[in-house]
């Protein structure tokens, strides 16, 4: 079987592409900085996982060795002002190594852009990466897409929350620009098909769905499919992309750092100028998926709690990835710890159910106003805040985003370890665990661990220490009470 490499396999598109490639009969390898984040995927046992970073040429050589087709699905979206240089550098390294080891085909998913216009920084970076890969020496297929419609995509979630939360709104005048969105299922079909395009073909292709709509029309069509009343939308000339992205960040879970490049892309009309891809990847007999059907499919996934990947699946740019050191005397620095334990009047199963369900709509079981205020502060400084929520209301897996945390380790029934991705002068973890699980009254242990970064980190810890009793003490009591209440309700059974 042809061997393919997928980079960005923990991201939105990569995480959906891998099972499609497996189903098509390809031998799949993935490059991942954190292989543990792949372990929870139902396809993890069917792929070859190479631990490494796409910025390391040595890691790339190990990953690309013997590969027939390499998917480049890496974008520094939301990575701050230096994202364009990071995109350039990573793409150049990938192109060089792909040529050196003899990769037969590179496939890149880029952005649809108009020719001859000054592009937004985000689209310009996509165009530049496209050219670097096309000039790299290995045969390359570039697929250019505009708004991707699918549950969990950043573009779709931004449109969904704006439409659902705002029955009336003011919007930038370029809300009337035309866009050619495409369903994520069609994007995946094109990506899989690109692997078998003849090697003599090395070029870019525009891909888009059957509908060309303005963003205003997309919001109104979304409202109709979702069963909402028509939205009142007024265009004004004063909202710059920067201001609009801040507004989007306040209304939707998408933080300004990611909203800014998405909003900036809407300044342009993005409509496919050709459909040459159909010569190599023909349309299915039933045709491409239209806007209304794509929205209905996405909403069904959300309703059925079957969102397989999301924009929050990828690591937050700039967020720490250091694991919690097992050695308490770790040489990297002094760990500051708030450690609390208590016996609880409930079963270990009931306690674990509450622990695994923490965050998102369930909240954090203490001083809600304090958590909300800290989340807003984090978003102001470019962090994720509390709006990412949870992938599933009751289940967690390693690598899942959970508000401003990332699940670093989970041992069902025993341990949940979260690593903070909020903006901090140091590294932070929160551990929630069940001890003495077989006892009549199991122990609920809670550890907040902080590794300060210099004097600012030390000052931060001691400044918030007076609130630990309110935050962590309240969490200790309220989780135990919630577990006891759930156990009693389960014993009582359904009402007669």
- Name all domains of the chain by residue range, CATH numbers in brackets: 3-313 (3.40.50.720), 336-492 (3.30.530.20)
Give 399: exposed, middle or buried? Use CB within 10 Å, 0-12, 13-18, 19+: buried
Query: Using the 8-state DSSP alphabet, how is residue 256 labeled?
Result: H
- Mean of the per-residue pLDDT values for the chain? 87
Q: What pLDDT is stored for residue 141 in this prediction?
A: 97
Q: What pLDDT is stored for residue 329 in this prediction?
A: 47
3-state secondary structure 407-440: EEEEECCCEEEEEECCCCCEEEEEEEEEECCCCC
Cα gap 225→323, rounded to integer Å: 43
Cα gap 303→297, rounded to integer Å: 10
Q: What pLDDT is stored for residue 130 in this prediction?
A: 96
Cα gap 260→495, rounded to integer Å: 50
Q: What pLDDT is stored for residue 332 in this prediction?
A: 46
Cα gap 71→95, rounded to integer Å: 11
Summarised one tens digit per residue, pLDDT across range 44-63 is 899 999 999 999 999 999 99
Q: What are phi and psi of 384, to 5 degrees?
A: -75, -20
Cα gap 124→76, rounded to integer Å: 13
Q: Exposure string (b/e) for 22-32, b if CB count within 10 Å is 16 or more? A: eebebbbbbbb
Query: H or E segment at 297?
Result: helix 291-303
Summarised one tens digit per residue, pLDDT across range 374-398 is 887 877 776 777 777 888 888 898 8
Q: Which of 371, 352, 322 is nearest to 474 (CA)?
A: 371
Q: Which of 57, 56, 113, 119 is nearest to 84 (CA)?
A: 119
The whole-model pTM stands at: 0.80
Summarised one tens digit per residue, pLDDT across range 426-458 is 889 999 999 988 888 899 999 999 988 878 888
> What is the pLDDT averaged over residues 64-71?
96
Cα gap 57→63, rounded to integer Å: 10
Q: What pLDDT is stored for residue 79 in this prediction?
A: 54
What pLDDT band is residue 330 in, cutting at 50, 70 and 90? very low
Token readout for 328 is 């308490």
> What is the pLDDT averaged over residues 335-354?
90
- Look at residue 319 and tell me whether its pLDDT is greater than 60: no
Q: What pLDDT is stored for residue 22 in this prediction?
A: 96
Strands (E), 24-126: 27-32, 48-51, 69-72, 105-111
Cα gap 262→241, rounded to integer Å: 9
């Amino acid at each position: 079987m042809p061997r393919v490499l997928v980079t960005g396999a923990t991201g939105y598109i990569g995480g959906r592409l891998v099972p499609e490639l497996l189903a098509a009969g390809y031998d799949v390898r993935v490059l991942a900085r954190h292989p543990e984040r792949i372990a929870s995927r139902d396809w993890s046992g069917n792929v070859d996982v190479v631990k490494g970073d796409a910025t390391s040429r040595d890691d790339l050589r190990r990953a690309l060795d013997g590969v027939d087709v390499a998917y480049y699905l890496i974008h520094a979206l939301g990575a701050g002002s230096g994202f364009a240089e990071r995109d350039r550098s990573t793409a150049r390294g990938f192109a060089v190594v792909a040529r050196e080891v003899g990769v037969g085909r590179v496939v890149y998913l880029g952005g649809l852009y108009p020719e001859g216009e000054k592009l937004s920084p985000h689209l310009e970076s996509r165009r530049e990466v496209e050219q670097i890969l096309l000039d790299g020496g290995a045969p390359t297929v570039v697929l250019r897409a505009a708004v991707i419609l699918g549950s969990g995509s950043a573009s779709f979630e931004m449109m969904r929350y704006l439409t659902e939360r705002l029955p009336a709104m003011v919007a930038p005048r370029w809300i009337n620009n035309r866009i050619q969105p495409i369903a994520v299922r069609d994007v995946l079909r094109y990506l899989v098909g690109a692997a078998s395009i003849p090697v003599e073909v090395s070029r870019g292709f525009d891909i888009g769905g059957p509908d060309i709509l303005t963003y205003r029309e997309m919001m109104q069509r979304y409202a109709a499919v979702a069963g909402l009343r028509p939205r009142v939308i007024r265009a004004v000339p004063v909202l710059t992309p920067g201001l609009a992205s801040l507004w989007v960040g306040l209304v939707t879970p998408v933080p300004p750092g990611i909203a800014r490049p998405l909003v900036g892309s809407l300044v342009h009309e993005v409509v496919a100028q050709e459909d040459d891809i159909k010569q190599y990847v023909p349309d299915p007999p039933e045709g491409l998926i239209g806007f209304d059907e794509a929205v209905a499919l996405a909403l069904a996934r959300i309703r059925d709690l079957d969102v397989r990947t999301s924009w929050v699946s990828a690591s937050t740019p700039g967020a720490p990835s250091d694991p919690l050191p097992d050695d308490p005397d770790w040489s990297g620095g002094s760990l500051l710890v708030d450690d609390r334990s208590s016996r609880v009047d409930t079963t270990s199963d009931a306690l674990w159910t509450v622990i695994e369900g923490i965050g998102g709509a369930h909240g954090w079981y203490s001083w809600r106003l304090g958590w909300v205020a800290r989340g807003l502060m984090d978003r102001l400084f470019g962090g994720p805040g509390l709006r990412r929520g949870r992938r599933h209301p009751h289940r967690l897996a390693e690598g899942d985003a959970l508000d401003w945390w990332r699940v670093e380790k989970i041992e069902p029934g025993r341990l949940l370890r979260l690593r903070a991705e909020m903006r901090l002068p140091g590294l932070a973890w929160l551990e929630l665990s069940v001890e003495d699980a077989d006892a009549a009254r199991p122990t609920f242990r809670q550890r907040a661990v902080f590794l300060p970064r210099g004097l600012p980190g030390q000052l931060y810890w001691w400044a918030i220490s007076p609130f630990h009793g309110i935050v962590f003490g309240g969490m200790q009591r309220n989780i135990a009470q919630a577990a006891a209440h759930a156990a009693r309700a389960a014993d009582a059974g359904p009402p007669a």
